[in-house]
Amino acid sequence: MAPSALLPTPPSPISVPDPVPRILVPERLSPEGLALLRSSGFKVDTPPPPPSPEALLAQIPAYDALIVRSETKVTAGVLAAAGRRLRVVARAGVGVDNIDVDAATARGVVVVNSPSGNVVAAAEHTIALLLACARNVCRADAGMKAGRWERGRLVGVEIARKTLGVVGLGKVGMKVARMAKGLGMRVLVFDPYASKEVAGQAGVELRDELGVLLPEVDFLTVHTPLLVSTANLLGEKELRSMKKTARVLNVERGGVYNEEALLRALDEGWIAGAGLDVFTSEPPVEGSVAAKLAAHPKVVSTPHLGASTVEAQENVSIDVCTQVVEILKGGLPTAAVNAPLILPEEYRRLQPFVRLVERMGSLYTQHFAERGGMVGGRRFELVYHGELAGMNNTRPLFAALVKGLVSSISDLGGRDVNIVNATLVARERGIAIDEKHVRDGGTVPPVYASAVTLRSLAPGQEGGEQVIEGYVSGNAIFISKLDRFRANFVPEGTLLVLHNYDEPGKIGNVGMVLGKHGVNINFMQVAALESGTDKAAAAAAPPVVDRLVDSESRAAREALMILGVAGDITEELLGELGKADGILHVSLVRL
């Protein structure tokens, strides 16, 4: 479950209901994924795949989300045509080289993928190609179907006791390594980022350089993404350094091997064979090097089947569709390519704090807006205390604050804010936010293991600081300070916050007014001035000074009456409360 600070916020009275989000799925997606999207209340369009670039440009402005596989190209032009409506692009698979991630990030569009959904399928296909190459399975099958019995010409090799080289020890590379170990192979690995401890636990041997690994292996498989640093990773020099009996495999991305060099290596006998599932152009263009490789007699070629199992298609589809649903609801994705990685343990620890910070932001806007505290143009400090201060990845908390601050003053209720575009939204609204980590506890009472302070000050203004503090207990969230008043209440539901003089009869009078208007009180708390609050500062508080009684004793008894209520809160009711004797200000807050 995603943190509620990035989940939908109940619409405030001034929010305009947004239309039902629309999702474009221009490529085949498993029925389970489509059903998940539709059951979540979204409109899902599935035009015949794949769309032409012109068609996609024309269609995309009407959609909030786009889900693609590998054929649809999500270019900077497509993202520009989408305007501000598009919130998420999802790749039902691992690689995102068909998506302009930088352009998406610049526009605040979340890009998600499914890094784990097809791990087993890709690893199994690698092993299938390895065995097919070793035992000439495909040539034998073709010969049998053509009526030829070529038993003597198709002698293969055993893979037990042979050496497999694995370049890239990620999820798929690790799975392949373990499968190969199970088949009795020795496994060597080249990955400059691999942990020696993890490699040791898996029973594989690390090599510091690719050039050291290549001459040792009988089979080579590459499991790296296609990046500038990995394009043409294996060229003529590398292929010439291998055994003439070696065979190479690629179930990751076309272009990691230099295709021209690989074709020469096969033609001239530098290596014995290849198993290829991916190519630089898919399908290979007739007459191209990729096409010649696919048709080569020493190559076992398949049409990008690495993730093409029923189970993998269901896994990646459900994975990315679940993330799309969360994002469209304001939730936190689990595999955002252009957002910081949220580890499971961090996710669990941050979850209640994300909810707390969002509520603090929304409380700030609704309580202080009429009191000189408009959001735009103000500077905010978000201060983390205690154990929370030790968290390095607080990006979700930053996004939660922005979402909370704008939720009651935006048409979408803040549901368009996510961890990718939060900085952009804040900048557009003139909101400056500084994050601070106070690891020594600061002024936070020791009873709170972790706490958060939200502080706001208008630029160039002396005084007028506005503060909200909160903490988490278990999975419950509490506000412990609102402005100059110490409190302890749960920020949820409909709240009436009355700034008043704490005098006999106040509670009864307020209760009578609410009862007359048919409004029930769910809970009530009186928050007193914080100990040591400066009386002069109290008397100079917000623009209600004209209603303050010129009496130090009365000003010193200021308090907040915080009421959780249920019922129709009308302007007439708010006006009647505001005119009552000793009531300085009334705020209606919906959380």
Q: State the chain's maximal CA–CA distance in angstroms.
A: 110
CB 139 within 8 A of CB 297: yes
- With H, G, I as helix, E, B as strand and everything else as coil, classify residue 57: helix
Count Cβ atoms below 10 Å from residue 167 Cβ, excluding itself.
24
C-alpha triplet 134, 139, 141: angle, nearest 5°: 110
- Per DSSP, helices labelled H in 53-170 are 53-59, 76-82, 101-106, 119-134, 137-145
- Residues in the chain, overall count: 591
Count Cβ atoms below 10 Å from residue 570 Cβ, excluding itself.
12
Give me the active site residues, please: 253, 282, 304
**C-alpha separations of 459 from 367, 375, 378, 430, 432 in Å:** 20, 12, 6, 11, 10
The one-letter amino acid code at 195 reads S
Token digits of residue 393: 């990845």
For residue 148, the 8-state DSSP code is -
Q: What is the DSSP string of 535-582?
A: HHHHHT-GGGGGGS-S-HHHHTTEEEEEEEEES---HHHHHHHHHSTT
Task: Mark 194-205 as b/e (b = at least 16 C-beta within 10 Å).
Answer: beeeebeeeebe
- With H, G, I as helix, E, B as strand and everything else as coil, classify residue 51: coil
The one-letter amino acid code at 488 reads N
- With H, G, I as helix, E, B as strand and everything else as coil, classify residue 462: coil
Residue 266 has phi, psi (to 5 degrees) of: -75, -45
Token digits of residue 576: 């009647």
Q: 3-class secondary structure for 342-399?
A: CCHHHHHHHHHHHHHHHHHHHHHHHHHHHHCCCCCCCEEEEEEEEHHHHCCCCHHHHH
Task: Mark 518-546 as b/e (b = at least 16 C-beta within 10 Å).
Answer: ebebeeeeebebeeebeeeebbebbeeee
Residue 13 has phi, psi (to 5 degrees) of: -60, -25
CB 65 within 8 A of CB 328: yes
The one-letter amino acid code at 20 reads V
Token digits of residue 208: 């510091």
User: Rg of the Cα trace of the chain?
Assistant: 31
